[in-house]
Amino acid sequence: MPGRAIRLAFVAVTAALVAGSAFAQPAAQVPAAKVDAAAIEHQPAGEWLSYGRTYSEQRFSPLDQINTANVKQLGVAWDFRTYTVRGLEGTPLVANGVMYVTGSWSKLWALDAKTGKELWSYDPKVPGSWGRYACCDVVNRGVALWRGAVYLGTLDGRLVKLDAKTGKLLWSVNTIDRSRPYTITGAPRVVDGLVVIGNGGAEYNTRGYVSAYDARTGKKVWRFYVVPGDPKKPQANPALTAALKTWNTGGKYKWWQIGGGGAPWNAMAFDPKLGLLYVGTGNGDPWNRDIRSPGGGDNLYLSSILALQVKTGKLAWYYQTTPGDTWDFDSTADIILADLKIGGKLRHVLMQAPKNGFFYVLDRETGKLLSAKPFAVVNWAKGIDLKTGRPIENPDARYKDKMAVVMPRQAGAHNWQPMSFDPQTGLVYIPSEDGSAVFVGQNDKSFVYRPRAWNLGVDFAAVSQAILDGIKAGHPPPPNLGYVKAWDPVAQKEVWHQPMGGAWNGGLLSTAGGLVFGGGADGLFSAYDAKTGAILWSIDLKTGILAPPVSYSVDGVQYIALLAGWGGAGGLADPRDPNSAVSKYQTNQGRLFVFKLGGAQQVAALAPEGVPPAEPPPLSADAATLEKGFVKYSQTCAVCHGFYAQSDDVIPDLRLAPAPVWDQYDDIVLKGAMADGGMASFKDVLSKADVAAIRAYVLEQAHLAWDGAHPKK
Ligand code: CA
């Protein structure tokens, strides 16, 4: 069989390559001191110098030493422990054999990319109490490199510059109004000598903005607010004056007092030829439009793609993916720039697959919508009208103060977990999800403004109750399903998909070796055939995966690097999944894994954390207290400790608390006894009676869990 003979010959050649043949020449490399715009745009194949690799954010590595023929030999070259147990979302950068990687609480390490040896580390010492302001875990997605320096945004809103060689602090600037619960989880980008950084906080009471600082001095050069301020005062620029017309002021609460939202917390891309910086903006704050803008309105520039002139921060154009957002449909999923042949013509496009479930292709010079199609199950809109660029909404999805079941759910058909564009196949690989959410809106009467807590205008207690009632009536919500999906952005259609073990999974990488890499909740990290989706290789890392992989080379050897550490929005709020790595192995110790051909094929699980649960103390509470506890828990605790007190173990499962904790609820919840560990005081939103009721509800759930696990004989 000639086909087989050819394949065998190919394997032999590849084996020779791996063994260190004449082809194994070290690629040209860029020391951190030489990283600038030209180096980022035209980087050697073996480097990964910026978040999405180049400014176009394609996350495609031109390396092909690891390929479809030999990927089965891939294994662990080395690993590095972060000694954290929270989510890891970082993209490691690699320059000239040095890796810069970030972890939970904005910690940063510089490592020898060949051996894993630590060169230096930097801990910005984020106060544990600030963790309460991070909607979706105390994560960090990475750093920027520029002319010998590393730039890092910290969870508590600082932007710091460090010497790339030594880790020495060169400057630190505060980027936020510290009286409001802003956070930074995103990676800065350096464009045109400016360090650009956004912020998160649109679940609390913030007004999102993106800022640019002089990379040398740390001096602020410009700032663009996503939503207008007090309409009685002059706005910062004409774009915000124009945006005022899309907001209503009639209700009890005013958006400029309670937030407005729009947090640009993740996506950025840059076109150096056009001088345009693209920024994705977040959801409205509160979520429920009826509370922040009663009577409607598009609420510019929420849930939008902004094109800003990089020198001034002036708005060149915008495209709003979800006008009048009311579903937490951030448009903050990463943005990819590419040149595509559409209708026989080469178009310079921008692509985004945001939470709302539609895949958008825009002309990146003008912002004109070229095409948009759903890449996941969507019921909030029937499609996108290409003439107006607007969604054709399903009126039932606008829940107002009623209930609605909406697809996708708040976590999105695609969230921040990066997608990847492979110029060889012309396909975009999307970590996507089919999911649904129940919304029950509040109104001006039932909504209580809580400045430093979740501030959504959605009644989570009623949502939880509706789901429980549905389960009782034999209608449990459909499971949320995760996929790796290959999408043809020209034809706007799916080419292949592979189901994932869980719904909430990691970002993706494509390589010139014809491979797509990605991992998931179950701890499996896999290589897919970029053309067919066939799984060619898999390894169980025994820790859940959120982060995207990268690829680089040192001394002619290609490596794949990936952080494993479960968490993020899905990892905190979703009920326990028995198939998740954190459930199976009872540990979430963060680790960086680096793979090469011929590496180890097995990974050992680390020892479980914590102490085995003891039988919970006796419960004595009346039905009214338990009901109150359920409501307060659902409104205040569930987003981190899990709905129905069922945590996925990133943040402790309160039902399994060690015995002394049951006597320390007041100290912990009201007095902040565990603030340094990330559990701040909630005395501003909970009374002593509330805490007693929450304890009673959790204890009731603890007994149910204990009795389930220890049936009486
Ligand atoms: Ca959000």
The string of DSSP letters for 664-688 reads: -HIIIIIT-TTGGGT----TTT--H
263, two tokens = 């947090």
10 pLDDT above the threshold of 60: no
Element (H, E) at 557: strand 557-564
The CATH number of 623-709 is 1.10.760.10
Pairing of strands 60-61, 508-511: parallel
CA of 329 to the centre of ligand 1 (A): 7
Distance 244 CA to ligand 1 centre (A): 22
Beta bridge partners of 403: 440
> How far does residue 202's CA lie from ligand 1's centre (Å)?
6
Confidence of residue 576 (pLDDT cuts 50, 70, 90): confident
Give the model's confidence band at 26: pLDDT under 50 very low, under 70 low, under 90 confident, else very high.
very low
Note the pLDDT of residue 472. Answer: 94
Mean pLDDT, to the nearest integer, of 505-531? Answer: 98
β-strands 276-280, 189-191 pairing: unpaired
Q: Is the dihedral of CA 561, 435, 375, 406 positive or negative?
A: negative
Q: How confident is the model at residue 651 (pLDDT cuts 50, 70, 90)?
A: confident
Over the chain, what is the mean pLDDT? Answer: 93
Rounded to an integer, the average pLDDT of 27-33 is 82
* CA 281–ligand 1 middle distance (angstroms): 10
Neighbours of 25 (CB within 10 A): 9
Distance in angstroms (rounded) separating the CA atoms of residues 616 and 698: 10
Residue 406 bridge partners (DSSP): 437
Token pair, residue 337, equals 């720039």
Q: Is the pLDDT of residue 295 over 90?
A: yes
Q: How far apart are the CA of 535 and the centre of ligand 1, in A? A: 32
CB-based burial, 34-45: b 16+ in 10 Å, e otherwise: ebbbebbeebbb
Distance 255 CA to ligand 1 centre (A): 16
| Helical (H) or strand (E) element with 345 | strand 345-352
Q: What is the mean pLDDT of residues 426-434?
A: 98
C-alpha–C-alpha distance, residues 189 and 266, integer Å: 11
Top-confidence residue, 705 or 196: 196
Least confident of 173-182, 322-331, 581-590: 581-590
Higher pLDDT, 323 or 29: 323
**The pLDDT value given to residue 572:** 87
Please tell me the pTM assigned to this model. 0.93
The pLDDT assigned to 708 comes to: 86
* Band of residue 252 on the pLDDT scale cut at 50, 70, 90: very high
Mean pLDDT in residue range 468-479:
93
| β-sheet bridge partners, residue 420 | 429
Per-residue pLDDT of 610-620, as tens digits, reads 767 788 999 99
Collect contacts of 636-640 with beta carbons under 8 A, ≥24 apart: 636/453, 636/454, 636/682, 636/685, 636/686, 636/694, 637/694, 638/460, 638/464, 638/573, 639/135, 639/203, 639/454, 639/460, 639/572, 639/573, 640/572, 640/573
Percent of all residues in the chain with a pLDDT value above 70, rounded to a whole number: 96
SS3 (DSSP) at 71: helix
Q: Which of 29-33, 111-115, 430-434 has the lowest mean pLDDT?
A: 29-33
Q: How far is the CA of 203 from the centre of ligand 1 (A)?
A: 6
Q: Does 328 participate in catalysis according to the annotation?
A: yes
Q: Per-residue confidence at 1, pLDDT binned at 50, 70, 90?
A: very low
pLDDT band at 251 (very low <50, low <70, confident <90, very high): confident
pLDDT digits (tens, 9 = 90+) for 681-699: 999 999 999 999 999 999 9
pLDDT score at 19: 37
Interval between CA 673 and ligand 1 midpoint (Å) = 29
DSSP string, 308-338: EETTT--EEEEEESSTT--S-----S-EEEE
Spot the catalytic one: 328, 574, 577, 690.
328
Model confidence band, residue 713 (pLDDT cutoffs 50, 70, 90): low
Task: Give CA–CA dist 354/418, Å, rounded.
Answer: 11
How much of the chain, in percent, has pLDDT values that exceed 90?
A: 87
Ligand 1 geometric centre to CA of 284 (Å): 8
- Each residue's pLDDT tens digit, 41-89: 999 999 999 999 999 999 999 999 999 999 999 999 999 999 999 999 9
Q: Does the pLDDT of residue 8 top 50, yes or no?
A: no
Neighbours of 618 (CB within 10 A): 7
Ligand 1 centre distance from Cα of residue 536 (Å): 35
Half-sphere exposure of 382 (CA within 13 A, CB side): 6
